[in-house]
Structure formats: C-alpha cells, structure tokens
Structure 1
C-alpha cells in the first residue's frame, strides 16, 4: 500500500519535467522569432546575395575572358545589328482593293507565314514543281529560317500548277510538310513568272505587311546570306524605296518570238525606240518592303509584260517614279559557276561574291559549308551557332 503513492509521485514529477521541457522549447522558438535583432537576419541575407553576385560575376568574367581569348572581334554587336531593322521605312499597304485586278490570279497559302510580329527578312523563291531537290537544299542551307541569333526570317516558295498528277500530289505533300509553299493557280511556265511576281506583291500587301526587307531569288542561286546583309543593308537602311540588284541598262527588245525573253513591241511607247527601261536581273533582288504597295498599285494600269525581271523591276519600278534608291550589286554577284565554286573552295582566297549560281544538286550544301568555313567576324557575331549547319 505504501508503494502506490510513490509511483503516483514519480508520474507527477515526470509529467512536470515534460511540461518544463516543452515550455522551454516553445519559449526558445518564441525568443528566436521575436528577440533576435532583425538587422542580424538582414546582414545574413545581404551576405548570401553578395555571395551569389560574386559567383555570377566570376562566371561572367570567365565567359568574357573566354570570348576575348577565342575572338578578337570588336566590331558591331548583334544588338547594334538589329538596330538596322528598326528605322526601316514604314510600310503603308495599298487599300481599297475592291477593284478587280486585270492580271492577278488566285493563290493558296497553307498557313499565315508572317505570324510572329515583325519579319525582318522575307525570302521568296521562284521554283518549278519538279525542283524539290533545290528547295530542300535551300531549306537546309542559306534559306534556313533559324540562321540568325535574333533576325526573324520567313521563307516562301512560289510554285505554279502542273498537268502531272503525281507531281501535283508530291508538291502537295511537300507543302504540308514544310508550310512554306504558295500554290499559284496557273500553269508553271517561264512566260507565267510575271504572274508569280503579282501573287507575291498581293501576298505581302495583304498578309505580310510586317516585312521589313524582301529578298527575291531563283532556286538555282546560292546566297551567302551573312555577307549579303552585312554589305547591302547598311547601304539601304533608312532609305525609302530601295532596290539592290544587278542592273540592266538600255537593253533592246528581243525580236525572236520563240525566245523566253520576247516582249511584244507594242508594250513600249514610241518614245522608247525599242529600248527597255532600266531593270534588275531577276535572279536576285533585295528591296525594301515599302515598294510593294507602290508596285502593286502600278500593276493595275501597266501591261502584263511576260518577262518578270523586266515587268516587276523595270516597267512597274519605272511607274513608281525617279525617287527609287537603286544600288547596283553587280560586283558582288556572279553567274559564272566555275568562278563561284573556285572562289568559295579556295581556303586562302577571300570571298568577293555573296551571290553565285548553283544549278546542280548538292551545290548549295557545298557552298554553304564553304561559307561557314570562311565566315567573317561580323557573320560569326550574328549567326545562330547552336542551329548551324543543318539543324532546323
């Protein structure tokens, strides 16, 4: 009977001690949250921030040192380069197109190509339905839309129709796979190239008004896209109605009716005396987009000349007026295939031409590889190295 009160006493003592321990723990937490000076926590936080900043600074310094070590380029930065496209002349679309165009033929665009804001460069390529190899070569080389760090590039191929059912189906599959083909509803022939030019003007005016510059190219032409931009955009930026091409001057009408360059003489005025207006050789033309509405407007009243070079950049450009800023790029363009290949493949020879002919399969890839091997310091600064050479 005397043992039980002792047990009860011990239990009460243990309970009391447990209560004291719990109270001490609670008071410790309370003391830490209330009575530790706030400036101590602030100092600790500041120390953590300084540690992170110090680490970031070391990483940044290491990155800059590595860049300096690997490159001596001190010229225009990619950010400064993008400034070339900010002050480009404003695009004012041609409105009130309720009037029926006398020559424009309908076309289909599978998607809204220009859908991500300002298009710094729109590349459009004249291509025949059967030239799928050339189109793929262009997609995988200089015509890739991800070749630049920051430049937003779009690419479209203009293709007419064909009577070959199997070829039509192949082009349609290609169109669905790549989303970069504008199908024009007329037979794809050399004499219908001017209809492609009209389709492009209408497309830009109504569905790609945010384009800054437009590059028109034939599918058998290779373009050193970095050198082209480096050399010519500074010459035309901030200048309205600009055109860069190989100029053709005082050419006589071709009298042979079987020639693909034949133009009916009645399309010229008597005062022209059989001499064509100055025009661009159409294998490559770089021009500012503000010309598009003006050229389209002129096309409503100008005769449809069946030679697209003379039509778009001759007759229509003449109708725009004398205020066009024309830059002749003849010294930088060559259609001499042997000269172009020799220049690009000779490792010791500097690149003089940014535009060369590439009519054979695989030539685009060869020239593209040579371009990357001989790229300028400025080209290295603006190129998207993560996606080069052939990953898109």
Structure 2
C-alpha cells in the first residue's frame, strides 16, 4: 500500500472507529481498498456537514479517485451486469440497514449519549449548542417516517415525564432510604409497563432486522465476499454500516448481539472486511493531529455571516478544476447574489412587520380629523378638543384661535 498525502476528512471519531458516520467510513475504506494509504483528520464537519477526500489540500470527488497515485478500482473486475446489481444492493442497504444502525445510535436512550459526546467534543462554540441536535433531528425525521423512532426505548419530549413517573412508581422507599421493588399493582404499574414496552419494541426491531438481513445472507451465501475473493464497493457499503455497531461498545448492543448470534455469516463478513482493508486494525489508521481549537473570538466569528464581519459559510475546497481567477470571479458573483438575497429578506421582513403592526392594532393612523370641531362667528374661531374637566368627567376643551 503506497504512502500518500491523501487525507480523508471525517466526522468526529467514535472509539475505536476513526469516524462516527457510515459515509466517512465508506470513503476511508474505499481509499484503503484501492491501495492508497490515506490519513484521517476530523473535518470542519459543523460547517461543511459531510466527509470528503482531499489530496494536497484539494478535494477529490468520488468519481475522480482514479487520479490518485497507486489507485486500484475495487470494481474493475466486475462485469456491467454485476456493477448494476451492486448498485441495486447498495441502494437496498441504504434503505434498510441504515435505518437500523441509526436507530441503535440515535434512538436508543443509552446509546445516544455516546455518539452525542463524540460530536460535542469536536464541535466549537457556539456550534456545539445546536449542531448535534440538528443532526439528531435529521435522523429522527427519517426514523419517524419509517416507524422506528422511539421503538425499544423510553419516550422523548412530553411523554418522557410519564415514563419517569412510572419508573419512580416501581420502587418503594424503605427505612434508611433503601429502595425495594413495589409489588405488582396492575398492568399499568410503572415497572411492568416499562418492561412490556421495552420487550415489544425490541421484538419490533428484531423483526425489522430479520427482514433486512435475510436477503443479504442469501445473496452472500457461503462466499467470503459478494463477488468473489476480493471486496467490492458493495462489500464496503455493508461494512461501513455494520461496523458502527459491531466495532463499538454501545451500552445497548441489541443489534450487535443479533448479528453475532443469528447472522454469523454477516458478522464474519464484517470481520473479514476489516482484516482485509485494515490489517492492522482501526488503531493502525494514520490520524493527523487535530487543528488547534479556535479561540472564543474566532469561534464567535464562525457563527456570524460575512456581511457582519464573520467567517461563516466555509465550504469544502473546490475541486472543479477552475484556475484562481475563475474561482475569484465565481466567489464574487456568489457573494453578490447573497447580498441581494439579504437585502430582499430585510425588505420583506420590514414590510411584513409594518403590515402585522397595522393589522393587529399595535399601530393606528387616524386621518379622519373627526375629533376636531370648528365653530366660526364673526370675529374668532374656536376648536373643541375632547378632554376631561377638573373633576375627571368628560368635557370638551375649547381653544380660541385668532382669525
């Protein structure tokens, strides 16, 4: 494996893995399977939002990996039909296995603090206040759509108080503050209800897992890898998902136990992939020293837009092949578009505020002049203005105006 200056910028590490998401592990595994010894460094993931590969500081798109020195395409020996079949199975893995893995990492209450702590450790202020929750929200939306969010664990949000109350009711405080289990007091008792919910949720997860893994076992058969004796992109796609639960020590190892006990073929495939691509184990992967953490002022600038003196809006290094002048023109044009967009936003916000203030009665404009009365005679004019007399009763105030 050739030594190179290729770097895979990943999400924060999740011990012992060099990254905490499947995309980062997929890119790293693809590069190593292609014969390139890439180093790993935690990316500015809070701003860029995704992993990427770079050489000499320039990002390399996945379809340009062939330009890397010493690169060997793992799918080079596949026929056109096999490549099409591999694409179908990779889509299947993304649609079935990904949800199960994300459920283990983000939905099960004992496991999320582990990955949440890894994300917070590599996220500067003030991004650590919202970026991890934003990522969790994205995963939650997908799991809710497929009916997996909250299955097999306690509730979140408003229902969490009810769960906590039931758990508290499952104990009795004895003399000296000792706790003992409360005797069974009905189907809605705290301990019994929580236990039934957990078992039902776990059985639901196991059924979903069987439905996802059975076709993969039939496809793999007795082979070491899906298409022969060497791993392909399909093997890497499955490995990058399963290693998040098989290589880590999560408090709730429901999915890992299922794979080891019920699907030893898939567990063996994972172990063979790790031994083939990373013969020295995860600890042998070269990790570059993380950049020095930004100061408080630098962190604050990261959260401000460029027009306010900040440096927000950083992006992955451009790999389009444009020269410096073209990149500068492109950057100025984009900044000009952003400026017009900001002006339009402020104008729309101002109009909306004024419209709301007028329609809600916060502001009112009276142009009728009905409160003023004019009396005219031969020599002088009087203006009657509504007001109050000395006793606090309503009375007109008469103002004399010289003609």
TM over 0.5: no
Give the alignment's TM-score, normalised by structure 2.
0.19
Give the alignment's TM-score, normalised by structure 1.
0.20
Greater relative contact order (CA < 8 Å, ≥ 6 in sequence): 1
